[in-house]
Amino acid sequence: MHRPPLGFLAVLSFGLLTMLPSCETASQQIEGKEDHLAAAGFFQKPADTPERQAMLNRLPAHHFVRRVKNDHVFYVYSDPLVCDCLYVGDEAAYSRYQQYVQAQALADEQEMTAQMYDDAQWNWGAWGAWNPAWGNWDPGMGPIGW
């Protein structure tokens, strides 16, 4: 019987998982993102004047936009849905947020991989004897004479 390669199964599983509806609402997802923006050093600025509201409405919602003021780079994130506000952060805050996003993506991938490859089905004995004190496989004990 032909079995598909594990890489194909991993990609297929990931694709199916990303298509499943999330248990969180859009507002909850945005709130979670905004918690991480604040933790990274972004400041929340309410759109509490007509001028601020008009400027907020000109920005793409829930996306970063790079802005330069007095030779300093800032990143703004507009949220007209949850907080009706703008998050503003410098390059360091943006970098911290991006590091968090990458770390979270890696953790999510590792969790998915762990779920896909159940340890209960793993058989160390099939690989021969292993002793961590040796730092390698036990010579002569493996299935092909290691």
- What pLDDT is attached to residue 42? 92
| Secondary structure (3-state) at 60 | coil
Residue carrying structure tokens 């998915």: 112
- What pLDDT is attached to residue 19? 42
- What pLDDT is attached to residue 25? 72
Strand order in 85-90's β-sheet?
43-46, 85-90, 72-79, 64-69
Average pLDDT, the chain: 76
CA atoms within 13 A on the CB side of 5: 3
72 pLDDT higher than 60? yes
Residues ≥6 apart with Cβ < 8 Å to 1: none
- What pLDDT is attached to residue 113? 75
Confidence category of residue 136, pLDDT binned at 50, 70, 90: low
Task: Kindly list the distances between the CA atom of residue 8 and the CA atoms of 4, 120, 140, in Å, as whole numbers in the listed order.
Answer: 7, 22, 35
38 pLDDT higher than 50? yes
15 pLDDT higher than 90? no
Give dist(CA 44, CA 41) in Å, integer.
Answer: 10
Give dist(CA 95, CA 125) in Å, integer.
Answer: 45
- Listed by start position, the domains of the chain span 26-99
Percent of the chain with pLDDT over 70: 59
| Secondary structure (3-state) at 29 | helix
- What pLDDT is attached to residue 134? 60
- What pLDDT is attached to residue 77? 93
Confidence category of residue 131, pLDDT binned at 50, 70, 90: low
